[in-house]
Chain A
């Protein structure tokens, strides 16, 4: 089924591209009265008819396969109601409808034998074929992965549309051009040689523009669908893209040779230079066309593969390069710096070699040696161990419930060696071959969530760290990872005081959900970009004066765009009643979800009364431990005003994984 779907996609895409390309080459070549050129044009038209029909048939097949996929059963292939549902109620279906209406129109137009003896008629007819072909090809962008990009859907579709159109002009034009050159290179094609040379020159210019457009739009597409090196090398989609690029390199090489060597020779002395060059050019262009077909195969497969950005990457190497490896290692940093400079010298040498006329080879050789030496010097200190799961995104989000769950798993499974505080000083750790890691230490931040997940799952050989893959399911292991992340960032947060440092968000506030009485649950994330949140963990009766103070100033806090969320540390379900009728507390007092919030945020502040100021991006910016340390209302308002004025756009916390 999958192979069939792929074949159908490939056929449909190939025919749609060829329709645009052949019509474009005919327009570029122009009208000619020479018999050979005329024969070629009629042949291209006949083939275009065939391509249009094949595109329609493969399009129908693609629609029924898509319907079967949507309905989840193979028997829906030919069910009219199911097909109608897909056609009229999905975007894929509507785009299909529009494109195939145009394809029908194009087929009808190609089948009618138009009289094109006059110049205006010829232009109108051939131009119309290009237009219809393009209108049938470009909307594919609106039914592919580009239509699922959020935000910026329209831009992504437009960029992908440009990519398709450029591919149609270049890749689709190769085969017709090769046929023209071959016909003109024959003995009996002598009449058409000047015409073919002109066509090749015009196509070459047009193809150059198309390649530039392809490169730019392709880069933009890759950025929005792949996004990272891990996605490129670690997912099926990314590897298909690498395959595509791998086919593109020889294709560009052939195109470069054609443009630089064969094209100028066409205008040389006819029988000794021009004709052999023409035949050679035709062969090379056929080679290009074959590579382009391979690329379209990769594209057809990419269309049926989830984009790397939405896939879990499996890192294929045993190391990765990162500058965080240099933190706290001055010698390694020096080495990386020196190596980097040497490599830059090498690059400069290579550039000079391409610019210079004479002595190119020795210069390029020396530059390559420099580049290699620089890389060999710089890379080892930057490399740290990596595992297949290194760039895996946690399947359990960084949330208070997960952290609380992870904390209890940690106490049960890990504390015996790593210690209750994570310092690596548990009684079970003594006598192990390697001292258990201090999980609070800054070096924990060098490791990705995926690294920690790998060690928890598989253990660390010859160190005493056992594997937990057998005893803990996947979700609980991610819970432990989330707990470790909170633990180490909580340890780093011990220096964070009650005064917010301007423009320095770094401590991610774990998300949580809460409810007040029977009202629907809300999440901390709901306040993101809208409100600053003052999270108050309180313990009665000690916190009562401070709560009265906050209650009194609540209207001012709200006016400044701040919400106060009060969490009773005893997680009492009657917390609102226990605060009493006086003073009147109107901010949310959490009655459901308090236990998890306390368990998670206790890692940041252990005092009976603690206040955490969370900015609009979702970062904790200030922590007051104890109601004595909490800022006077006016000082608090001043800090909020300062946060309100900040311009910094920190990345959304979820992307900030250590």
Chain B
């Protein structure tokens, strides 16, 4: 065999090697990312439930809002201070500002409401 042909073949083999590496690691990573995105999108259309701990910061029954500083809700939002609607007016009456609470929200994000709340500890 002529040497230049051998060199060409080897360079071809190198390129194939790079391509194989891409197929093996690159595509797998790409597929995982796609699956993750799909799973996230699917999760966004189903009704789900989260339970978190928090502190009551304000109770505004006139607009049906309770402001809570709460921990992370996995797959929904990180820890933050924000207002939630309550599923029933009774929820506003069961706690006071400053109480440490454990609460449950339910719904299809971003339409969620507090369905249960109780004082922690």
Q: Are A586 and B67 in contact (CB under 8 A)?
A: yes
A124 to B4, alpha carbons, bound, how many Å? 5
In the complex, A516 has a CB within 8 A of chain B: yes
Q: Please tell me which one of the listed residues B17, B67, B98 contacts residue A577 in the complex, with CB atoms under 8 A apart.
A: B98
Contacts of B71 in A (CB 8 A): 518-520
Q: Are B10 and A128 in contact (CB under 8 A)?
A: yes
Q: Please tell me which one of the listed residues B3, B72, B98 contacts residue A114 in the complex, with CB atoms under 8 A apart.
A: B3
Q: Are B59 and A114 in contact (CB under 8 A)?
A: no
Q: Are B7 and A128 in contact (CB under 8 A)?
A: yes
Q: Are B72 and A520 in contact (CB under 8 A)?
A: yes
Binding site for B on A (CB under 8 A): 94, 98, 101-102, 105, 109, 112, 114-116, 118, 120-125, 127-128, 131-132, 135, 516-520, 522, 574-581, 584-588, 591
Contact with A along B41-59 (1 / 0, CB 8 A): 0000000000001111111
Which residue of chain A has its CB nearest to the CB of B121? A518
Q: Are A581 and B6 in contact (CB under 8 A)?
A: no
Q: Which of B6-44 contact A (CB under 8 A)?
A: 6-8, 10-11, 13-14, 17, 21, 25
Contact sample, A vs B, 15 pairs, CB 8 Å cutoff: A105-B10, A105-B14, A114-B6, A116-B3, A125-B4, A125-B7, A132-B10, A517-B120, A519-B69, A520-B71, A520-B72, A574-B98, A576-B55, A581-B59, A586-B67
Q: Are B55 and A519 in contact (CB under 8 A)?
A: yes
Binding site for A on B (CB under 8 A): 1-4, 6-8, 10-11, 13-14, 17, 21, 25, 53-59, 67, 69-72, 79, 81, 96-100, 102, 120
Which residue of chain A has its CB nearest to the CB of B71? A519
How many A-B contacts are there with CB distance less than 8 Å? 98
Which residue of chain B has its CB nearest to the CB of A101? B17
CB distance from A133 to the nearest CB of B (A): 12
Q: Are A581 and B97 in contact (CB under 8 A)?
A: yes
Contacts of A94 in B (CB 8 A): 25
Q: Are A586 and B2 in contact (CB under 8 A)?
A: no
Contacts of B98 in A (CB 8 A): 574-580
A576 to B8, alpha carbons, bound, how many Å? 75
A268 to B10, alpha carbons, bound, how many Å? 44
Contacts of B120 in A (CB 8 A): 517-518
Q: Are B69 and A121 in contact (CB under 8 A)?
A: no
Q: Are A580 and B97 in contact (CB under 8 A)?
A: yes
CB distance from B30 to the nearest CB of A (A): 17
Q: Are A518 and B10 in contact (CB under 8 A)?
A: no
Q: Are B69 and A517 in contact (CB under 8 A)?
A: yes
Q: Are B58 and A520 in contact (CB under 8 A)?
A: no
Q: Are A517 and B79 in contact (CB under 8 A)?
A: no
Which residue of chain A has its CB nearest to the CB of B67? A586
Q: Please tell me which one of the listed residues B1, B4, B10, B58 contacts residue A581 in the complex, with CB atoms under 8 A apart.
A: B58
Q: Are B14 and A102 in contact (CB under 8 A)?
A: yes
Which residue of chain B has its CB nearest to the CB of A583? B58
Q: Please tell me which one of the listed residues B3, B21, B53 contacts residue A124 in the complex, with CB atoms under 8 A apart.
A: B3
Most buried by B among A522, A580, A584, A587: A584
Q: Please tell me which one of the listed residues B4, B57, B79, B102 contacts residue A520 in the complex, with CB atoms under 8 A apart.
A: B79
Q: Are A112 and B6 in contact (CB under 8 A)?
A: yes
Which residue of chain B has its CB nearest to the CB of A131? B11
Contacts of A122 in B (CB 8 A): 3
Q: Are B97 and A577 in contact (CB under 8 A)?
A: yes
